[in-house]
């Protein structure tokens, strides 16, 4: 029982320091540091869960706001939509909105790349045609 009480005291003693560290981690988490929306979401969710475990749960709306605050400019439109929703969507709904936006951005980027390749090949063709006519 003594060992258990000592462990509890150690855990409780570090509780406030842990809360400060986790809050700081959350406020400094930015999407630009992650390869995709899912990784960003998971990195926000983990400290939020840990805050709950140390008795300092974060409100659901605060977590959604943190998610929006860390978005890159590419997600500005969906971020505005989330912020202006009343009530705010749940964290998982906001995540879904971000992943849908991510898929749309990837599709647009692929289409832009395809158009650039077509334009480049047309330019090479035009260049070759003009050289053969000379």
What's the farthest any 2 CA atoms get from each other in the chain? 96
Beta-carbon neighbour count of residue 72 at 10 Å?
13
Q: Is the pLDDT of residue 18 over 90?
A: no
Where exactly are the structural domains of the chain?
Answer: 2-133
Beta-carbon neighbour count of residue 76 at 10 Å?
11
Please state whether the predicted TM-score (pTM) of the whole model is above 0.75.
no
Q: Is the pLDDT of residue 126 over 70?
A: no
* Phi, psi values for residue 107, rounded to 5°: -65, -45
What whole-number percentage of the chain has pLDDT above 90? 57
Q: Which residues, other chains included, contact 65 with Cβ-Cβ below 8 Å and sequence gap of 6+?
A: 83, 88
Query: In this predicted model, which residue has the larger pLDDT, 116 or 56?
Result: 56
- The pLDDT assigned to 133 comes to 56
């Amino acid at each position: 029982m003594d060992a258990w009480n000592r462990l509890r005291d150690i855990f409780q003693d570090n509780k406030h320091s842990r809360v400060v560290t986790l809050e700081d981690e959350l406020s400094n988490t930015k999407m630009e540091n992650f390869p995709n929306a899912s990784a960003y979401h998971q990195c926000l969710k983990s400290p939020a869960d840990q805050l709950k475990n140390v008795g300092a749960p974060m409100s659901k709306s605060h977590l959604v706001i943190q998610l929006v605050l860390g978005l890159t400019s590419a997600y500005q439109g969906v971020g505005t939509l989330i912020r202006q929703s009343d009530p705010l969507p749940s964290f998982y709904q906001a995540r879904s909105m971000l992943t849908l936006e991510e898929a749309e951005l990837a599709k647009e980027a692929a289409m832009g790349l395809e158009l650039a390749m077509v334009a480049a090949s047309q330019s090479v063709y035009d260049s070759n045609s003009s050289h053969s006519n000379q």
